[in-house]
Structure 1
Amino acid sequence: MDAAAAAQKRKRAEQEEEQAATDGLDVLDLRAAKRLLLGFERRLRDNLEARMKHPDDPARFADSELALHAETDRLRLLAGAPELFPDLVPLGLASSLSSLLTHENADLAAAAASLLADLTDSDDPSDLAGVQALADALVEANALDLLVHNLSRLSEADPDEAEAVHHSLAVLENLIDLRPHLADLVCDRTKVLRWLLARVKARDFEANKQYASEILAILLQNSPANQKRLGQMNGVDGLLQAVAMYKSRDPRTTDEEEMLENLFDCLCCVLMPLGNKERFVKAEGVELMIIIMKQKKSAYSSAIRTLDFAMTRFPPACERFVDVLGLKTAFAAFMGKIPVNKKNKNESYQEELEERIISLVASLFGGITKGSRRIRLLGKFVENECEKIDRLMELYIRYSDRVKAETERFESLDLDDLEMDDDERYNRKLEAGLYTLQLVALILGHIWHSGNSQMRTRIELLLRQNKLTKDDVKEILQEYHDNIGDLDGPEEKEKAQGRTKEIIAALS
């Protein structure tokens, strides 16, 4: 027997010994886990050597790749022992798996992504420390960059590679769930936002498009940096293109419905920065949302929510809304004339929709302060014998009763036991509907401030009928004034308080 054959025989014997040591194990101890990792790294090294020796002869390294694939699958045993990860990370667990993501054989890269999805997925709090240790090591080993690179090189026309894309997205989701700050980091270091945007713009629906929409929504939540990044890469227009596919049709499945909700979540998140509101108006987003509302499909409420985000503290969107004849559509919703479908039979859905449309009308009054547009807006409250003022008062009474009931409830309890300070009391009232009540009061105040005698007479009549006075409305507005925050800066806070003071003075 020559030396090469003898070496090969020894290698096979070692492999058989390592496999025998871990075969049949349901729970690993550290020693067995180390043997598993050692076996994997040996197969990885053997394969790399075979590829370097015979780069043009795949038959010469095929066996080593089969062995590596099998050993990668065996590493799944580690998913049941995350408490061992802190001991395995210094031995190369994260770095070795990250390097496999770059393997020229897409099947092996896919196997690595699938394995990492298993290893980083944990809902058990007791496993958290171990999985976080692995997550930190993966980031250190550039796994984020390699995962995103994989997304670009995999062809989803191949079912196996499409599955690998799904697993790669799962790893990203798991890592961000473990370390939320990675949402900013991965977008700063990679082109993941660009890839996801292109993916959700694809016309045909399938599982990975749905998953891409979910990951995009996760990356945009609570991340002003990512919201701005997406806007700068024409992302507002891209998202509008994606939702435009549903302007005249409903999703066909629950998964497709979930994807559409994700897309609208993305759109609302990306509308937080002022610059993206401008892009939304330029891309005719206001017009698209009005079309969706008129079509009365399942995206109806999502369109209202998007308009609410776009028009809040942004007068150009309010002006465009009036210019493209959005008032008729908005006030139909304000009067409760909403399309009937399986979603809006849900009471919480109806309540959210009602609160959104109230917020939208309040934004219109805040954004359109003079001129013909203001006259058209106020004119809506004169139509049909001031029916919209009647509706406004109906909403005022309903939300006022809810807030009073909540206030009486916690005032009847032992406040010493509750340890409730003023901020907590205020937050409890907000949860009961105080903010919506404040917006209704604000709209009433704007109407009164207009000086129109017909509308003023109607408001006074309705207040008397409900045993209320203008002082009750002023009290709500004063509390609103006192709690205006400075999220948009001290200058904006001062302006908002100044406008509210004017309305309170007009009611005196």
Structure 2
Amino acid sequence: MDLPPPQKRMRSASPPPPSFSGGAIDLSLLEALEKSQQNAVETLDLKTLKKLALSLERRLNANTAARLKYPDNPEKFADSELELHDELQKLKILAGAPELYPDLVSLGTVNSITGLLNHDNTDVAIDAVTLLQDLTDADVVEDNDESALVLVDALIENNAAELLVQNLARLNDSDPDEAAAIYNTLSTIENLIEVKPSVSELVCEKTKLLKWLQARIKIREFDSNKQYASEILAILLQNSAANQKRFGQMNGVDTLLQAVAMYKSKDPKMGDEEEMVENLFDCLCCVLMPLENKERFLKAEGVELMIIIMNQKKLCYGSAIRALDFAMTNYPPACERFVDVMGLKTAFPAFMAGDSLKTISLLDGNISGMTYYLYTIPLSKKNKKRHHKEELEERLISLIASLFGGILRGSRRERLLSKFVENECEKIDRLMELYMRYSDRVKAETERLNDLELDDLEIDEDEKYGRKLDSGLYTLQLIAVILGHLWTSEHPRMRARIELLLKQQKLTKNDVKNILQRGHQNSVELMPIFFILMVLGGIRHPQIAACLGAAYTVTRFFYFKGYSTGHPKLRLTIGKYGFLALFGLGLCAISSGLHMLTL
């Protein structure tokens, strides 16, 4: 998807050491330090791990026995729970040796830790959450993928996801310790997903996490846990159509619209609140992928809200354009609504916009230079660093292309076309300016790829095409689509302007036509190779070749399906594995050839 994955939150640093005022020494702190040093484990190996695991089991059994024997007398089992707390704290050192995680699993300790998430004493459950957060931290498991996967598989098998979410329900933000536990719970869930992405759908299917997150972002007051909830929700919706549909069925589209509506006329505070709003719009864009959610967006007057946000020209301006792009792609009803509620008056000033209010003389030659004033787009410093202006341009181009594709006739079509005639066709001038810029960018990338091939670095055609798309080919194709719609309208002024601009750039209509054909040509060119490899490979390995051929066909289906969404990066979710099938067919063909030579 054309969405950057949400960045992981920076983990809060360890609290600073207590300072001594007036030179006085706190003896209690020294006693605690001495005690911790006595309890410290010097060497962390399998023997030490077994010792820690056995100690935890003993404390857990003692606590369970005390609770069963004295259920109505907390004083009788309070000491055993303090000891249980100490044992959980000791196990945190395992984060320094993730290679021991498989041994931790084989000892059955993971089952005991996950069981403590459901402990009657919330403090003990919080200790278990904190331990799991430490053990699964991204920095800890970064270079130990296999060990981390063993641990995560064991946690999932022991219902850790369900227990973590159940424990969330009894935590209260008003208590600082429980608020920290909420954060650590969300962090643990994020860590599990990072190690094993399939957890994303599993946790939504088996728990009420989506419902909890939905309730959390409904709260009007901002806090760090609301921000983190928005981030986790974005991660869950990022690459899962099942989660997107599930959240839509929970009235999630309306929830997100209400959440972002708070910022239609005011900017979020810099920092975490600004990041939260970005996350909310990421969620909205993700949830707008399924068709049924586009319908919900339309019924909830999401188009109108996004236009209001654009008109206010606050920090959410660009995010509203992005949401409209997702809503209108391959969905004509949203395009029609956009025109009906005067969206053209909002979109085209943005389309004409530049870095600041300035004048541009675009033309020379027989027609005098066309001067027009550009609107200022509000950009945050963070967004500037992310090439926000370019993204806005690409989104607006995609939006306009969607309008032409979704509105084919009638008065709405005439209103859309009229925008390109007004002010002496200034928008066609802007369109051609963008065409040349993206064309130059694609040419530069093509030359770079050719140079790599000269350096004996092999790049298959699919990858080359993908890199060209990333460099701007897809946007260039959309511009060509818009120019094609303008030309086929047979409006004499628009045709004359397009012909003049093409002539000035020493281009012809066929150059624009070739841009459109290039997308189809890429896939057509691969078909002869595919069939030849299928035939040759099938001579000696018919069953393997048939399976690989079927696999390639499936990947191409998802490639085209992703491309058709209007966001070409989606073609790579499954489509990127097509080259593996071709590679396998190539090996089968080589094997067949060698076999024939030996006959």
Q: 1:347 to 1:465 in 2, by over 3 A?
A: farther
Superposition deviation, residue 258 in structure 1: 1.0
Match of 1:303 among 320, 332, 337: 320
Q: Specify the alignment match of 2:400 in structure 1.
A: 361
Q: Which runs of 5+ in 1 are unaligned?
A: 1-18, 494-508
Superposition deviation, residue 50 in structure 1: 1.2
Q: Using the alignment, how far apart are the partners of 1:317 and 1:26 within structure 2?
A: 65
Q: Specify the alignment match of 1:207 in structure 2.
A: 224
Match of 1:45 among 39, 61, 80: 61
Query: Aligned AA for 1:42?
Result: R
Deviations along 1:302-335, one digit per CA (max 9) or x if unpaired, are 1111111110001011111111111011001100
CA contact (8 A) 1:332 1:338 kept: no
Q: Using the alignment, how far apart are the partners of 2:224 and 2:142 within structure 1?
A: 29
CA contact (8 A) 1:22 1:36 kept: no
Deviations along 1:96-131, one digit per CA (max 9) or x if unpaired, are 011110011111111110011001114354422222
User: Secondary structure at 1:153's aligned position in 2?
Assistant: coil
Match of 1:237 among 254, 262, 284: 254
Q: Please tell me whether residue 452 in structure 1 is matched to residue 508 in structure 2.
A: no
TM-score normalized with structure 1 length = 0.89
Match of 1:94 among 110, 125, 134: 110
Q: Specify the alignment match of 2:12 in structure 1.
A: none
Q: Using the alignment, how far apart are the partners of 1:300 and 1:26 within structure 2?
A: 56
Match of 1:463 among 493, 502, 511: 502
Q: 1:99 to 1:478 in 2, by over 3 A?
A: same
Q: Please tell me whether residue 283 in structure 1 is matched to residue 300 in structure 2.
A: yes
Q: Using the alignment, how far apart are the partners of 1:413 and 1:136 within structure 2?
A: 41
Deviations along 1:158-183, one digit per CA (max 9) or x if unpaired, are 11111111111111111111111111
Q: Please tell me whether residue 434 in structure 1 is matched to residue 473 in structure 2.
A: yes
Match of 2:336 among 313, 319, 323: 319
CA contact (8 A) 2:462 2:522 kept: no
Q: Using the alignment, how far apart are the partners of 1:482 and 1:414 within structure 2?
A: 21
Q: Specify the alignment match of 2:437 in structure 1.
A: 398
CA contact (8 A) 1:403 1:434 kept: yes
Q: Please tell me whether residue 157 in structure 1 is matched to residue 170 in structure 2.
A: no
Match of 1:423 among 462, 468, 471: 462
User: Secondary structure at 1:61's aligned position in 2?
Assistant: helix
Question: Which of 284-293 and 408-417 deviates more?
Answer: 408-417
Superposition deviation, residue 27 in structure 1: 3.7
Superposition deviation, residue 400 in structure 1: 1.3
Q: Specify the alignment match of 1:341 in structure 2.
A: 379
Match of 2:87 among 62, 67, 71: 71
TM-score normalized with structure 2 length = 0.76
Q: 1:392 to 1:486 in 2, by over 3 A?
A: farther
CA contact (8 A) 2:315 2:378 kept: no
Matches within 5 A, 1:100-115: 100-115=116-131
Superposition deviation, residue 346 in structure 1: 4.1
Q: Specify the alignment match of 1:128 in structure 2.
A: 145
User: Secondary structure at 2:456's aligned position in 1?
Assistant: helix
Q: What is the RMSD of the two structures over their aligned residues, measured on CA atoms? A: 2.1
Q: Which runs of 5+ in 2 are unaligned?
A: 1-34, 354-374, 524-555, 565-599
Query: Aligned AA for 1:364?
Result: L
Superposition deviation, residue 233 in structure 1: 0.7
Superposition deviation, residue 435 in structure 1: 0.9
Q: Using the alignment, how far apart are the partners of 2:394 and 2:463 within structure 1?
A: 22
CA contact (8 A) 2:204 2:210 kept: yes
Q: Please tell me whether residue 192 in structure 1 is matched to residue 229 in structure 2.
A: no
Q: Specify the alignment match of 1:350 in structure 2.
A: 389
Q: Using the alignment, how far apart are the partners of 2:102 and 2:519 within structure 1?
A: 51
Deviations along 1:192-234, one digit per CA (max 9) or x if unpaired, are 1111111112111111111111111111111111111001111
**How many residue pairs align between the two structures?**
474
Matches within 5 A, 1:350-389: 350-389=389-428
Q: Specify the alignment match of 2:280 in structure 1.
A: 263
Match of 2:70 among 35, 41, 54: 54
Superposition deviation, residue 413 in structure 1: 5.0
Deviations along 1:346-370, one digit per CA (max 9) or x if unpaired, are 4721111111111110011001111
Q: Using the alignment, how far apart are the partners of 2:325 and 2:37 within structure 1?
A: 62
Q: Specify the alignment match of 1:411 in structure 2.
A: 450
Superposition deviation, residue 486 in structure 1: 5.1
Q: Specify the alignment match of 2:10 in structure 1.
A: none
User: Secondary structure at 1:265's aligned position in 2?
Assistant: helix
Q: Using the alignment, how far apart are the partners of 1:457 and 1:418 within structure 2?
A: 45
Question: Which of 80-89 and 254-263 deviates more?
Answer: 80-89
CA contact (8 A) 1:122 1:128 kept: no
Q: 1:26 to 1:291 in 2, by over 3 A?
A: farther
Match of 1:293 among 293, 305, 310: 310
CA contact (8 A) 1:382 1:455 kept: yes
Superposition deviation, residue 70 in structure 1: 1.6
- What fraction of aligned residue pairs are identical, expressed as a percent? 65
